[in-house]
């Protein structure tokens, strides 16, 4: 399996984990290990930025942190939060989430693009969460985003790849990695995204709220690997009818 | 300018009541079978007919809450700043006519209270006052917010309703959420319970969420005081209000509380009793109507009840609450607004939450997420 490369960093794992919704830090830690992930998003609102000791950060352990700005509603708030995070957590990586709508947590395209332009200039590795909008993804790429993170379905909905046709266009056009974020509710959804050629997936609710988060994390790890391997081995085309066993044009060379 | 008043005036209390009480088992079953429910379904779910379906309601409510909010419960504590009040409310310990020593915390006292609350582990605090606009008005709130906002991750307020301009003024000081309960949506009954003071203006209170929405507050809390009027009809109005607000002020987050009238010295007996079973019905009905609304459970409720019900749709809980100004450190013996029922410490509550497989979340906001200009 090829490595995933975001900015200048190589990853063996193509599964990014979210850290919300777990019933305790121990379970989260076990899920992180079982998933073999190398990047975990942490909501700024959940961690104690100023303090030495924090349960959440401890549970993430030595895996790379990806702070997210969940809770901000505008580009201005996002930039302010990003700078606070960079200072407090010592990383310039950022998952940019601007969803002014607290009900479905759908991302604001206008504010997200404005914030990406500014944050990229300030030297952040910006990973913006967006709707599966191919034009917006190209605009973000031009603005200096390190990858794009289009949604499969609303956050936490577990509905799978409802935006499939648009994800396909994004994957086809993108020159930065495409990480399918939000909506992935089962390992089969993750495998489907990877088979399509997504570079990585981000999963949280489906693992954290399952009956056995550790086992489910492992199931996702396997699904992501299987999907990626299938993609790299070039899947056969799907046909509506059986192929004729005697070729129709073989007479030409006969 | 949109106002909930226009929506509210289309409804007649008695007709609605008849409608809710006429719902049949078939209406409840239809509501339970759906995934996206409307206000007609909600009527069925709060009707007497739904009592037989409580187990199924609880099951679905628990599942929806887990999916949306995860295995977490957000923790908060109230900080009573003042018991001064110019209103007469028949059910409240701080009512103008009640003979009790009046107290408004000064900055030194606030520091002491904050220290005590922080020591218990809280990062989310709810500021509470009566209504005494001269002494405890916008200038006082500004000073308090300035004093405490760096000490807490999140500051909410449950004080008198204010003008839109006042909210515009306070929000940049780090005011995150405002709770304003209508007490009851029964206008005539509201007048009976609030005979004197600014609070007697039913419509001013009714339109407070509109003013908050226009001012762009992050979150607002709705609710009624259960015991004043028929809880089924009142909770329908809460749901109606919520629907309207979500459509009108879509950037704002909403929470609902369901305080049941508690005894206090010299207080009023509830006109309408709500049983534990009915409170579970109401909580789960709110969740079945709305998967995203936060549902908050206070220390008004008894230990045993809280131990179980927090798993059926609740997203935030208070613990170790004191309902008197200075109650944590300055003047622990002063008279409370109401008697709390669950007197366990925050650590005991946190332990209980963990023992049921949930994580108590002390911090779920950060000042870094608000670009504060003040």
Tell if the CB–CB gap between A46 and B363 is shorter than 8 Å. yes
Kindly write down the DSSP assignment for every residue of B210-242, as one continuous string.
Answer: HHHHHHT-SEEEEEB-BTSS-HHHHHHHHHHHH
Within a domain: residue A49?
yes
Tell if the CB–CB gap between B369 and A45 is shorter than 8 Å. yes
Which of residues A35 and B370 earns the better pLDDT score? A35
Within a domain: residue A9?
yes
pLDDT confidence bin for B93, thresholds 50/70/90? confident
Within a domain: residue B143?
yes
Give B-chain residues touching A48 at CB under 8 angstroms: 363
Give the integer Cα–Cα distance in Å for B155 and B365.
10
Within a domain: residue B368?
no
Tell if the CB–CB gap between A77 and B251 is shorter than 8 Å. no
Tell if the CB–CB gap between A81 and B368 is shorter than 8 Å. yes
For chain B, the distance separating the N- and C-terminal CA atoms, rounded to the nearest angstrom, is 28
**pLDDT number for residue B267:** 63
Report in angstroms the alpha-carbon separations of A3 from A12, A13, A191, A203, B73: 5, 8, 17, 19, 38
Closest approach of A135 to chain B, Cα-based (Å)? 25
Which of residues B340 and B75 earns the better pLDDT score? B75
A156 is in an annotated binding site: yes
Has residue B265 got a pLDDT over 60? no
Give the integer Cα–Cα distance in Å for B106 and B82.
10
Give A-chain residues touching B292 at CB under 8 angstroms: 102-104
Within a domain: residue A241?
no
Identify the three-state secondary structure at position B64: helix
Within a domain: residue B185?
yes
Interface membership of A84 toward B (CB under 8 Å): yes
Give A-chain residues touching B362 at CB under 8 angstroms: none
A182 is in an annotated binding site: yes
Within a domain: residue A105?
yes
* Residue of B231, B298, B222 whose CA lies nearest to B271: B231
Average pLDDT, chain B: 92
Residue B223 maps to which CATH number? 3.20.20.70
Within a domain: residue A50?
yes
Which of residues B270 and B246 earns the better pLDDT score? B246
Tell if the CB–CB gap between A209 and B70 is shorter than 8 Å. yes
- State mean pLDDT over B308-314: 95
Q: Tell me the CB-side half-sphere exposure of residue A73, using CA atoms within 13 A.
A: 15
Give B-chain residues touching A103 at CB under 8 angstroms: 246, 250, 253, 292
Within a domain: residue A240?
no
Report in angstroms the alpha-carbon separations of B71 from A213, B76, B113: 12, 17, 30
pTM (predicted TM-score): 0.85
Contact A55, B363 (CB under 8 A): no
Which residue of A lies nearest to B243 if distances are taken between CA atoms?
A: A103
Beta strands in chain A (DSSP E): 4-6, 9-11, 15-18, 39-43, 64-68, 93-96, 125-130, 149-150, 179-181, 200-203
Lowest mean pLDDT among A160-164, B3-7, B360-364, B368-372: B368-372
Q: In which domain, by residue range, is B64 found?
A: 4-363
- State mean pLDDT over B219-246: 96
Torsion of CA B220, B226, B232, B234, to 10 degrees: -50
A160 is in an annotated binding site: no
Tell if the CB–CB gap between B251 and A102 is shorter than 8 Å. yes
Which residue of A lies nearest to B363 if distances are taken between CA atoms?
A: A46
Q: Please count the residues of chain A.
A: 254
Contact A176, A147 (CB under 8 A): yes
Contact A162, A140 (CB under 8 A): no
Has residue B214 got a pLDDT over 60? yes
**pLDDT number for residue A25:** 87
Contacts of A67 (CB under 8 A, 6+ apart): A41, A42, A43, A44, A82, A85, A89, A91, A93, A94, A95
Contact A42, A57 (CB under 8 A): yes
Q: For testing the chain B interface, which of A103, A105, A118, A206 should be mutated: the one with the most B CBs within 10 Å? A: A103
Within a domain: residue B369?
no
Residue A30 maps to which CATH number? 3.20.20.70
Question: Please, where are the H alpha helices in chain B?
Answer: 4-8, 13-21, 25-33, 39-45, 54-69, 107-119, 138-148, 164-170, 187-193, 202-206, 208-215, 231-248, 276-289, 303-309, 346-355
Interface of B with A in 49-68 (CB under 8 A): 66-68
pLDDT confidence bin for B115, thresholds 50/70/90? very high
Closest residue to B251, CB basis, from A25, A100, A208: A100
> Is A121 one of the annotated active-site residues of the chain?
no
Contact B176, B372 (CB under 8 A): no
A-B contacts (CB, under 8 Å): 82
Contact A115, A79 (CB under 8 A): yes
Tell if the CB–CB gap between A80 and B368 is shorter than 8 Å. yes
Closest approach of A143 to chain B, Cα-based (Å)? 23
Interface of B with A in 343-372 (CB under 8 A): 354, 357-359, 361, 363-366, 368-371
Has residue B371 got a pLDDT over 70? no
Within a domain: residue A239?
no
Tell if the CB–CB gap between A44 and B70 is shorter than 8 Å. no
Give A-chain residues touching B357 at CB under 8 angstroms: 23-24
Has residue B359 got a pLDDT over 90? yes
Count the domains in chain A.
1
Tell if the CB–CB gap between B70 and A47 is shorter than 8 Å. no
**pLDDT number for residue A12:** 95
Within a domain: residue B370?
no
Contacts of B249 (CB under 8 A, 6+ apart): B209, B212, B213, B214
**pLDDT number for residue B15:** 97
Interface membership of A200 toward B (CB under 8 Å): no
Q: In which domain, by residue range, is A29 found?
A: 4-234
Closest approach of B17 to chain A, Cα-based (Å)? 29
Which residue of A lies nearest to B69 if distances are taken between CA atoms?
A: A21
The question of ipTM being above 0.95 is answered as no
Q: For testing the chain A interface, which of B219, B366, B372 should be mutated: the one with the most A CBs within 10 Å? A: B366
Give the integer Cα–Cα distance in Å for A229 and A64.
24
pLDDT per position as a tens digit, B37-65: 999 999 999 999 999 999 999 999 999 99
Within a domain: residue B374?
no
Give B-chain residues touching A69 at CB under 8 angstroms: 369
Give B-chain residues touching A54 at CB under 8 angstroms: none
Tell if the CB–CB gap between A103 and B365 is shorter than 8 Å. no
How many CB atoms are closer than 10 A to CB A153?
A: 18
pLDDT of chain A, 254 residues: tens digit per residue: 889 999 989 999 999 999 888 888 889 999 999 999 999 998 888 888 777 678 788 887 888 889 999 889 999 999 999 998 898 888 999 999 999 888 888 999 999 999 999 999 999 999 999 999 999 999 999 999 999 999 999 988 889 999 999 999 999 889 999 999 999 999 999 999 999 999 999 999 999 998 899 999 999 999 999 999 999 988 777 766 666 677 777 777 77
Report in angstroms the alpha-carbon separations of A161 from A4, A37, A157, A180, B67: 21, 21, 11, 9, 18
**pLDDT number for residue B336:** 79
Interface membership of A69 toward B (CB under 8 Å): yes
Closest residue to B71, CB basis, from A21, A73, A100: A21
Within a domain: residue A150?
yes
pLDDT confidence bin for B238, thresholds 50/70/90? very high
In the set A95, A103, A121, A215, the catalytic residue is A95
Give A-chain residues touching B68 at CB under 8 angstroms: 156
Give the integer Cα–Cα distance in Å for B153 and B160.
23
Tell if the CB–CB gap between A46 and B364 is shorter than 8 Å. yes
Count the domains in chain B.
1
Closest approach of A46 to chain B, Cα-based (Å)? 5
């Amino acid at each position: 399996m090829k490595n995933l490369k975001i900015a200048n960093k190589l990853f063996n794992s193509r599964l990014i984990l979210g850290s919300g919704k777990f019933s305790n830090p121990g379970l989260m830690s076990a899920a992180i290990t079982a998933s073999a992930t190398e990047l975990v998003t942490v909501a700024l609102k959940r961690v104690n930025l100023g303090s030495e000791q924090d349960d959440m950060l401890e549970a993430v352990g030595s895996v790379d942190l990806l702070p997210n700005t969940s809770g901000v509603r505008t580009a201005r708030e996002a930039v302010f939060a990003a700078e606070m995070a960079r200072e407090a957590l010592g990383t310039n990586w950022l998952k940019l989430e601007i969803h002014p709508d607290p009900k479905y947590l759908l991302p604001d395209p206008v504010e997200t693009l404005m914030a990406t332009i500014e944050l990229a200039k300030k030297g952040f590795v910006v990973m913006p969460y967006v709707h599966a909008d191919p034009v917006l993804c190209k605009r973000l790429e031009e603005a200096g985003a390190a990858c794009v993170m289009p949604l499969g379905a609303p956050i936490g909905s577990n509905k799978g790849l409802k935006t499939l046709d648009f994800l396909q266009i994004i994957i086809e056009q993108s020159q930065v990695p495409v990480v399918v974020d939000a909506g992935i509710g089962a390992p089969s959804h993750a495998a489907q995204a990877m088979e399509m050629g997504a570079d990585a997936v981000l999963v949280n609710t489906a693992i954290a709220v399952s009956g056995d988060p550790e086992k489910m994390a492992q199931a996702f790890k396997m699904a992501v690997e299987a999907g990626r391997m299938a993609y790299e081995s070039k899947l056969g085309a799907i046909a509506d009818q059986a192929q004729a066993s005697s070729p129709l044009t073989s007479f030409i060379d006969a | 300018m949109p106002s909930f008043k226009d929506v509210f005036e289309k409804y007649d209390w008695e007709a609605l009541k008849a409608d809710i009480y006429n719902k049949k088992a078939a209406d409840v079953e239809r509501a339970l079978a759906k995934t996206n429910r409307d206000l007609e379904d909600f009527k069925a779910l709060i009707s007497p007919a739904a009592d037989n379906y409580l187990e199924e309601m609880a099951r679905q409510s628990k599942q929806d809450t887990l999916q949306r909010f995860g295995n977490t419960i957000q923790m908060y504590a109230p900080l009573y700043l003042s018991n001064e009040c110019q209103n007469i409310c028949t059910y409240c310990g701080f009512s103008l006519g009640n003979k009790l020593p009046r107290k408004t915390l000064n900055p030194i006292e606030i520091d002491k209270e904050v220290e005590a609350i922080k020591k218990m582990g809280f990062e989310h605090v709810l500021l509470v006052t009566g209504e005494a606009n001269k002494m405890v008005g916008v200038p006082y709130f500004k000073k308090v917010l300035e004093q405490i906002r760096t000490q807490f991750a999140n500051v909410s307020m449950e004080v008198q309703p204010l003008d839109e301009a006042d909210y515009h003024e306070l929000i940049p000081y780090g005011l995150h959420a405002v709770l304003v309960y209508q007490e009851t949506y029964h206008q005539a009954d509201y007048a009976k319970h609030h005979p004197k003071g600014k609070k007697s203006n039913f419509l001013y209170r009714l339109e407070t969420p509109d003013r908050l929405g226009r001012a762009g507050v992050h979150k607002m809390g709705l609710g009624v005081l259960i015991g004043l009027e028929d809880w089924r009809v009142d909770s329908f109005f809460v749901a109606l209000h919520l629907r309207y607000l979500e459509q009108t002020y879509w950037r704002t987050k909403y929470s609902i509380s369901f305080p049941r009238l508690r005894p206090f010295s010299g207080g009023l007996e509830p006109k309408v009793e709500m049983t534990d079973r009915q409170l579970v019905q109401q909580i789960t009905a709110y969740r079945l109507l709305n998967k995203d609304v936060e549902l908050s459970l206070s220390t008004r409720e008894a230990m045993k009840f809280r131990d179980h019900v927090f798993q059926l749709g609740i997203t935030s809980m208070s613990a170790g609450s004191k309902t008197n100004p200075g109650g944590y450190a300055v003047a622990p013996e002063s008279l409370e607004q109401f008697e709390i029922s669950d007197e366990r410490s925050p650590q005991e509550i946190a332990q209980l939450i963990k023992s049921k497989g949930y994580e108590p979340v002390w911090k779920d906001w950060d000042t870094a997420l608000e670009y504060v200009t003040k």
